[in-house]
Amino acid sequence: MHSTEYAVIYCVVQTVSKGTFHRELAELRRKIKTTQDETHEYDDEISQMKRQQQELTMLLDERQVTD
């Protein structure tokens, strides 16, 4: 940090009720679960596309050999 720069840090403490905390925690868990499910779906889709690419590559190789 340069001598002409100043760092100002504000810390805001917010009181959260136990019920609010648990609702927010549950929401975060739902978001994590959704993200994990989507990641799994995308991984499956990527794997399927890779298999298709391999099949197409093999077909192309076969055609090039016979031509």
* CB 7 within 8 Å of CB 1: yes
Buried-state track 10-19, b at ≥16 Cβ within 10 A, e below 16: eeeeeeeeee
Q: Which residues contact 16 (CB under 8 A, 6 or more apart)?
A: 24
pLDDT value of residue 65? 82
pLDDT value of residue 13? 74
The answer to whether the pTM exceeds 0.75 is: no
pLDDT value of residue 6? 64
Ranges of residues in the chain whose predicted pLDDT is under 70: 1-7, 67
